[in-house]
Amino acid sequence: MEEEEKSSSKSDVLVTGFGSTNGESPIGKRKLSINIIKRIGIGGFSTVYLAAARVDNSESMYQVAVKQIVKNIPNALTCYRRELTSLTALSNSPYTVKLFGSVECESYFSLLLGYSKHGDLCDFIMKRF
């Protein structure tokens, strides 16, 4: 994904967390303060942002990717559910991006993901070979 458009916005959301082998997540079902730093990619049905997330007003910040799927596009719910199901099923794999949680807003479905500084697998391979 190419880096684009710097922006900054902040919101507080209640995130439903997904997780590790024992069913726990570093986030769980908690209030997050999410600060969008910049847009890092755009695709056919979603936009991905680099963000900083703070859990329950703690001092710890997590660097995350926020994938927003616009609700008003055809098949948005199907795309969201498919991706959520796939990432949840693969949540214990060390070879996939970590799914921390999801949020449904009025206009978007959002996935809170681990941030990969090298982009997606396709970008990484294309840069290497």
Q: pLDDT grade, residue 19 (50/70/90)?
A: very low
- What pLDDT is stored for residue 25 in this prediction? 46
How does DSSP assign 43-82, residue by residue?
-SSEEEEEEEEEETT-S-EEEEEEEEEETTSTTHHHHHHH
What's the mean per-residue pLDDT of the chain? 76
Q: Is the pLDDT of residue 52 over 70?
A: yes
What residue ranges define each of the domains in the chain, with the CATH number in brackets? 6-128 (3.30.200.20)
pLDDT at residue 105 greater than cutoff 90? no
C-alpha span between 65 and 46 (Å, rounded): 12
Between these two residues, 108 and 27, which has the higher pLDDT value? 108
Distance CA 100, CA 112 (A): 5
CB atoms within 10 A of CB 86: 12
* pTM exceeding 0.75: no
- Within 8 A by CB and 6+ apart from 63, the residues are 50, 51, 52, 53, 115
Q: What is the pLDDT of residues 56-99, one digit of tens each?
A: 767 778 889 999 998 888 888 898 899 889 988 888 888 888 88
pLDDT at 33: 80
Please, which pLDDT band fits residue 53 given cuts at 50, 70 and 90?
confident
Q: Rounded to whole angstroms, how far apart are CA atoms 82 and 76?
A: 10
